[in-house]
């Protein structure tokens, strides 16, 4: 059996990918906030395209699960996960 090979992490690439993802996530959050502030959940369900809503919900759920894993690895307390300012919760 071959010895276990350690995966080399390209730190610069990882950081660049995280920076781009952060911008894209912020853009998605702004888009969702625009819809949330202009339309009620009832109107969104009544008049929104069901397949588009299902895809958006699946995407949000996937992001939540992924970042929950990251938060758990960082040992973040539950209350600090909801602080959008980037600062520690008091």
Residue ranges per structural domain of the chain: 22-77
Answer for the pair 25, 63: CB distance below 8 angstroms, yes or no.
yes
CA dihedral 10, 15, 21, 26 (to 10 degrees): 170
What pTM did the predictor assign? 0.72
DSSP 77: -
Query: How would you write the pLDDT of the chain (90 residues) with one tens digit per residue?
Result: 556 666 788 999 999 999 999 999 999 999 999 999 999 999 999 999 999 999 999 999 999 999 999 999 999 976 665 655 444 444
């Amino acid at each position: 059996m071959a010895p276990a090979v350690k995966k080399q992490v390209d730190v610069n690439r990882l950081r660049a990918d995280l920076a781009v993802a952060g911008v894209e996530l912020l853009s998605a959050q702004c888009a969702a906030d625009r819809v949330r502030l202009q339309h009620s959940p009832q109107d969104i369900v009544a008049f929104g395209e069901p397949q588009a809503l299902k895809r958006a919900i699946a995407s949000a759920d996937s992001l939540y699960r992924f970042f929950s894993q990251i938060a758990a690895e960082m040992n973040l307390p539950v209350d600090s996960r909801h602080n959008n300012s980037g600062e520690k919760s008091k």
